[in-house]
């Protein structure tokens, strides 16, 4: 990347860093450190100890790399492992990639703007830039997913990540990303910028699982730019406690016939404050977006479930659906579904329902022999099952497996 | 098998109005009864009360099933004893796959047949496990197998909901089957199918000594009855009371001919064909 461009981004970041977010969501960045070195080094991924193996498996990262086309593991702010088996898909640490390919600067801070907020600014200002660059070459079709893990293993650590993912024309990319902390770590901060670029007729299926601790603060910033005929398919799963999490990816469906699907599954526990959503801007003719979120709130958790579809081009269609179960008197789900038509020839619809489990549903299951608790558990258990019909088979199975692991975890 | 004595029931949402008044009914092992009555006579309330749904308040009287007083038992324990219901309005249950609910029914039948004295098998003929039984039942009913993977009744048509109900009862095989308006909102094709299955579940074509199941069919249309073979008894419910009981053929014929208006005259004059049970 050219020095001039770098300087420009740094300057914008300096201006933005003082901006504050919404009060509840503000994180004091100075309370976390990016200096400490992670204690984990991986020379041979197949030889990692049992504890780390379990951590990886919990977020869908298979140390054996069976049925995986590549692996990226970042512990704290170090790249611990980065390898791909495929010659059609490249995986590199972002810093290396920016050195290697000057053209990549055209994708750097293009989907997400550096001055979005103090967290994007902090990401630009970090001394030690990390994250992954994934590049599916033209026509590349790897069946097996690429896996990545962003892992924090030191108390009070600040992890900063900037990812760029590019799917060239006619390529297909399947990704699993797991973000997690060591079981002994409670307080941690994760800032993650992800910029996705989907060229003509490309397809990215992306399953992301978050597995945090009760004092973690999490601020992903994600944007997706889609060309003609491309399909972006996102599944986001968070089922462990977290102190605060704010994520609201935005997809710009600029090309005609582009499609995006967002599925969000949240099991909010304890004091978690979770502000999640997804946005789609339908700029391409006949572009289409669907969003489904299913949320369970227990304990004193507070979930804000956002969804926005904006239809700007004729023939655009969008549907969003939000279902939430509030299972404790101190829990809260605040659904904010928004549909915005700026063109007469668009069709946008939404459905939202939040509250307790309907008594008629419980009674119906009891009339088949289940007791009240069993009836409730059956409904809750199935409520967070993912609809994987949009996903390629291999990723669908992994996604289902991940949801099972996550929903069985204690919290 | 089922004995209801002097039952008076009001509903939560009915301002204390009594829906069933001093209601009595006896159904013995091997018997299938029909309960006819106009809308609002209390037919559905009876079903929900036998099941023990909340919101149906028993002011007085008792319900016995297989000799046991079940008046205050939770719904699922009544089901454990052998009561099954084919609902008129079955709710959508997002999050619960039909396959899983079918398996619940099959499991409950297994538990019951293990404990029970009768020689009923825990699984359908030739089935190794619950999943296989669930698929077999669906196939027998021409029910698309992919629907088993769907959430119960979500996106189902009226006929599909009815067939889902029937399938669950085929898996549960209850000793007493309560059937609420099986013929409402059903096309002829489904009506024939439902009739065929009910006839089998209620053992209508077995010799009398092998008839061990009992049934209560609630209907205000009566279309289903022609498919069920011989029935044991019919009752007419009017304003929360049985005002007339007797030979099903005679009663059904006269209701078809005169409607329930004639019954109202009977009720007013306190005439009945027979003494009340």
pLDDT digits (tens, 9 = 90+) for A332-343: 999 999 999 999
Last residue within a domain, chosen from B144, B173, B202:
B173
The more confident residue out of B248 and B13 is B248
Task: Return the residue of B nearest to A359 by Cα.
Answer: B54
Q: Are the beta carbons of A367 and B79 separated by less than 8 Å? A: yes
User: Residue B104 and residue B100: Cα distance in Å, rounded?
Assistant: 6
Q: Which of B120, B150, B173 is the last residue of a domain?
A: B173
Q: φ, ψ for residue A229 (rounded to 5)?
A: 70, 5
What domain range includes position B62? Answer: 1-82+175-277
**pLDDT band (50, 70, 90) for residue A386:** confident
Instruction: Assess whether B67 and B191 both reside in one domain.
Output: yes
Same domain, B14 and B59: yes
Pick from A361, A365, A382: CB nearest B97:
A382
Q: How far apart are CA A286 and CA A346, in angstroms?
A: 9
Q: Work out the mean pLDDT of chain A and round it to a whole number.
A: 92
Does B233 lie in the same domain as B180?
A: yes
Q: Do A383 and B104 touch (CB under 8 A)?
A: no
pLDDT band at B66; cut points 50, 70, 90:
very high
Question: Sign of dihedral through CA atoms B90, B95, B96, B99?
Answer: positive
Distance, in Å, from the CA atom of B30 to the CA atom of B191, rounded to the nearest integer, reads: 23
The reply to whether B44 and B140 lie within a common domain is no
Query: Choosing among B76, B90, B115, which should be mutated to test the A contact, i.e. which has the most A CBs within 10 A?
Result: B76
Q: Do B169 and B179 share a domain, yes or no?
A: no
Report the residue from B76, B93, B100 with minimal CB separation from A371.
B76
Same structural domain for residues B159 and B230?
no
In what helix (H) or strand (E) does residue A405 lie, and over which residues does it extend?
helix A393-408
CA distance A365 to A376: 9
DSSP SS3 for A16: helix
- Within this chain, do residues B124 and B144 fall inside the same structural domain, yes or no? yes
Q: Contact at 8 Å (CB) between B68 and B77?
A: no
DSSP string, B185-207: T--HHHHHHHHHHHHHHTTTTS-
What residues have CB less than 8 Å from A263, skipping those under 6 apart?
Answer: A234, A235, A236, A291, A292, A293, A386, A387
Strands B18-27 and B2-11: antiparallel
State whether residue A353 sits within 8 Å of chain B by CB: no
Structure-token pair, residue B147: 């629907």
Residue that is last in its domain, among B173, B197, B227: B173
Tokens at B134, concatenated: 């669930």
> What's the number of domains chain B is made of?
2
Indicate whether B179 and B58 sit together in one domain: yes
Task: Give the CATH number for residue B47.
Answer: 3.40.50.300
Question: Looking at the structure, do residues B114 and B76 belong to the same domain, yes or no?
Answer: no
Q: Do B187 and B267 belong to one domain?
A: yes
The token pair that represents A389 in the structure block: 């019909």
**Contact criterion met (CB below 8 Å) for A135 and A82:** no
pLDDT tens digits, one per residue of B103-121: 999 999 999 887 765 667 7
Q: Which residues pair with B7 in a beta bridge?
A: B23
**Dihedral over Cα of B105, B110, B111, B117: its sign:** positive
Residues B96, B181: one domain?
A: no
Looking at this predicted complex, what is its ipTM? 0.94
Per-residue burial over A255-274, b if 16 or more Cβ lie within 10 Å, else e, is bbbbbbbbbbbbbbbebbbb
Q: Which residues on A lie below 8 Å from B101 (Cβ)?
A: 365, 368
pLDDT at A23 over 70: no
The domain spans of chain A are: 3-23+71-360, 361-411
Task: Report the alpha-carbon angle A268-A269-A272, nearest 5.
Answer: 75
Question: How far B18 CA sits from the closest chain A CA (Å)?
Answer: 22
> Are B25 and B15 part of one and the same domain?
yes
């Amino acid at each position: 990347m050219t020095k001039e461009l770098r300087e420009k981004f740094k300057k914008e970041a300096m201006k933005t860093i003082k901006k504050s977010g919404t009060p509840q969501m503000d994180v004091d960045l100075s309370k976390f450190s990016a200096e400490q070195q992670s204690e984990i080094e991986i020379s041979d991924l197949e030889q990692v100890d049992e504890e780390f193996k379990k951590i990886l498996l919990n977020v869908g990262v298979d140390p054996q790399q069976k049925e995986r086309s590549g692996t990226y593991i970042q512990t704290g702010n170090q790249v611990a492992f980065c390898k791909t088996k495929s010659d059609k898909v490249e995986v590199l640490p972002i810093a290396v990639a920016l050195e290697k390919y000057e053209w990549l600067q055209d994708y750097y801070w293009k989907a997400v703007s550096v001055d979005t907020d103090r967290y994007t600014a902090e990401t630009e200002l970090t001394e030690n830039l990390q994250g992954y660059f994934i590049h599916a070459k033209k026509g590349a079709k790897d069946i097996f997913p690429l896996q990545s893990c962003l892992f924090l293993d030191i108390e009070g650590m600040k992890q900063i990540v900037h990812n760029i993912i590019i799917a060239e024309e006619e390529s297909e990319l399947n990704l699993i990303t797991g973000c997690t902390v060591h079981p002994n770590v409670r307080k941690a901060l994760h800032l993650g910028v992800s910029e996705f670029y989907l060229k003509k007729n490309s397809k990215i299926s992306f399953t992301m699982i978050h597995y945090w601790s009760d004092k973690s603060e999490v601020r992903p910033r994600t944007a997706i730019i889609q060309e003609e005929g491309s399909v972006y398919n996102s599944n986001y799963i968070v089922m462990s406690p977290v102190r605060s999490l704010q994520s609201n990816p935005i997809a710009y469906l600029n090309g005609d016939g582009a499609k995006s699907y967002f599925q969000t599954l949240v099991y909010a526990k304890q004091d978690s404050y979770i502000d999640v959503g997804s946005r789609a801007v339908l700029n391409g003719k006949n572009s289409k977006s669907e969003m489904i979120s299913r949320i369970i709130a227990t304990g004193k958790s507070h979930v804000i479930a956002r969804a926005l579809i904006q239809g700007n081009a004729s023939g655009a269609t969008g549907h969003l659906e939000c279902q939430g179960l509030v299972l404790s008197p101190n829990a809260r789900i605040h659904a904010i579904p928004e549909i915005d038509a700026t063109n007469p020839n668009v069709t946008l619809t939404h459905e939202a329902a939040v509250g307790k489990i309907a008594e008629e549903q419980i009674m119906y299951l009891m009339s088949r022999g289940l007791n009240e608790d069993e009836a409730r558990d059956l409904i809750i258990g199935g409520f967070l099952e993912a609809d994987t019909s949009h996903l390629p088979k291999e990723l669908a199975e992994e996604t289902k497996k991940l949801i099972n692991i996550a929903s069985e975890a204690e919290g | 098998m089922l004995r209801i004595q002097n039952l008076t029931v009001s509903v939560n949402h009915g301002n204390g109005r009594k829906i069933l008044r001093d209601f009595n009914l006896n159904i013995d092992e091997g018997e299938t009864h029909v309960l006819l009555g106009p809308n609002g006579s209390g037919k559905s309330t009876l079903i929900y009360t036998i099941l023990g749904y909340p919101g149906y308040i028993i002011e007085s009287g008792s319900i016995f099933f297989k000799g046991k007083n079940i008046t205050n038992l939770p719904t699922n324990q009544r089901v454990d004893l052998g009561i099954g219901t084919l609902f008129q309005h079955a709710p959508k249950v997002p999050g619960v796959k039909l396959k899983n609910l079918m398996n619940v029914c099959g499991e409950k039948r297994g538990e019951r047949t293990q404990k029970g004295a009768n020689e009923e098998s825990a699984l359908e003929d030739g089935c190794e496990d619950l999943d296989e039984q669930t698929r077999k039942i669906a196939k027998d009913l021409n029910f698309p197998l992919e629907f088993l993977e769907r959430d119960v009744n979500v996106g189902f048509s009226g006929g599909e909901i009815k067939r889902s109900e029937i399938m669950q009862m085929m898996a549960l095989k209850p000793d007493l089957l309560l059937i609420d308006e099986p013929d409402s909102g059903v096309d002829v094709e489904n009506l024939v199918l439902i009739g065929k299955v009910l006839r089998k579940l209620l053992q209508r074509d077995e010799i009398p000594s092998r008839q061990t199941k009992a049934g209560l069919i609630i209907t205000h249309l009566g279309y289903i009855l022609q498919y069920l073979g011989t029935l044991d008894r019919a009752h007419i419910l009017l304003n929360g009371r049985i005002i007339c009981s007797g030979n099903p053929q005679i009663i059904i014929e006269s209701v078809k001919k005169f409607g329930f208006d004639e019954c109202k005259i009977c009720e007013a004059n306190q005439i009945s064909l027979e003494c009340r049970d």
